[in-house]
Structure formats: structure tokens, C-alpha cells
Amino acid sequence: MDLGLTDKTIIVTGGAKGIGAAAVRSFATEGANVVITGRSPAEGNALAQEVNGLFIQAELSEETACQRVVEETLAAHSRIDVLVNNAGYNDGKNLETAPEEFMASVHLNLSHVYTLTHLCREELIRNQGAIINVSSKVATTGQGQTSGYAAAKGAMNALTREWAIAFAPHHVRVNCVLPAECITPQYQTWFDSLNDPDGTRTAIEELIPLGHRMTTPEEMADTIVFLASPRSSHTTGQLIYVDGGYTHLDRAASADHSKWG
């Protein structure tokens, strides 16, 4: 299926690894011009070389860095068609965290989402483009130990609906994808820090109804790319869970019923 993304210019934040890197590769396969932003120059430049893209090293919590991303993208490609707001980090700021650290966590995970959308809005309107926000199931289910991240991702869900309405008269679509248990490098690092990484992963996978396995970054990426494409031309304001049924299906669906009774 031709997704109609040839020569479109895509900005992917947090695009050097994990879900972002998978999205970069998927967009490149469709013939898009991909701009990768992130903090990791070694990984970012290597990926940019792989996909013939552009890497811009940037600390996106700084407004000036967001401005530079937009300026360098336009200098390279003269247009912006899609913004993928993927950058974020579950920093575990819980209720024991001081209020100023909580607000810093929210700022880290949310400010760039608004800033880049604000800065890209005229290009997106001119090109009748799309925005894809990458949120988290934490915003829906809670986690108990990550107030800042949950607040930022909950705001991202709300902004998806808000911006879908704001951009609708201009034929710009805004959607959100939500991973649950996706096996990213960040997640693997957490597994590796545990006493029983394999046992913990197995326990988590048993909670996922579809296939009893974690979602892959590539599965997330393909949903992102489809939502960004003209093939999804009448879809906007949607929160789409790519999670094997983890978030909304009854946990009993994942249980070994032979042990019941």
C-alpha cells in the first residue's frame, strides 16, 4: 500500500532510539524526508546516515532548541508536513517529590510538545499536515510512582482532542498513540537492573491478552506512520492504544483458567 508520504517532511522528536527510531525507519521506507531530534549524537547521526535523514541534537525543554529544530528543518527541506511528538522520559517523580521537581518533570515531558506544535502550526496548516502525539497507558491506568510523567501524558491526551478541534478548519489531523508494555531500550535497561529480569518480563507478558508478549517498537511505528499518512485522512482526535489489549481488556482474559476452581 502506498501511504502517500513520498517527499513529505517529518519531524520525529526523541527519534534516535526506541519507538522514535522505529518510526524514523518506517517513515524513511515510505520515501519521506525524516528529521530526527534527540540528545544522543552518536545514535542520532548513525540513524540519520542509515535513512538519509537529518539529525538535530537538541534539548527540547529549551524553547530556543525547539526554534532551532524548526529553522534547520525548513532550511533543509523548505516544508514541514508531520510532527511526531515522541520525546519523553518516565522519571519516576512520585508524591514524595518536592513540588518544584514535579513541575520540572511536567516541563521536561510536556513543554516541547506545545512549543513545537506552536512553532510548526503555520507549516502544518499550509501543507494540511498531521500531528501524532505519543502518550502512555500511564495516563489512563496510573502507575503509582510517577506523578510528573502521568500528568504530562494526561495533558498530551487532552491536547490531542483540543488541537484536533483547533486544527480541523485547516484540515490538519491530530491523533495520539499510547503504548503500554513496549520493549524499548529504556524498558530493557529497567529489566536489566532487576534481580530476575526474565521472570519479571514473563510476569508482565502474562498480563497482555494478545499473544502474551510485549509490543515491539515497530508495531508502534507502523501505527504512527499510518495515522500520519493521507490513508488516514478522516481520522482525528483519537487516542489509539497499541498494547495487545493490555489497557482495557479484563485481566481475567490473560489468566490461566486451568488453575481456577
Active site residues: 149
Are 246 and 200 spatial neighbours (Cβ–Cβ below 8 Å)? Answer: no
Are 152 and 111 spatial neighbours (Cβ–Cβ below 8 Å)? Answer: no
What percentage of the chain's residues is helix, strand, coil (to nearest 5)?
50, 15, 35
Query: Look-up: residue for cell 534547520?
Result: 72
φ/ψ of residue 130, rounded to 5: -150, 155
Are 209 and 167 spatial neighbours (Cβ–Cβ below 8 Å)? Answer: no
d(CA 26, CA 19): 11
d(CA 172, CA 169): 8
Are 109 and 89 spatial neighbours (Cβ–Cβ below 8 Å)? Answer: yes
Are 183 and 208 spatial neighbours (Cβ–Cβ below 8 Å)? Answer: no
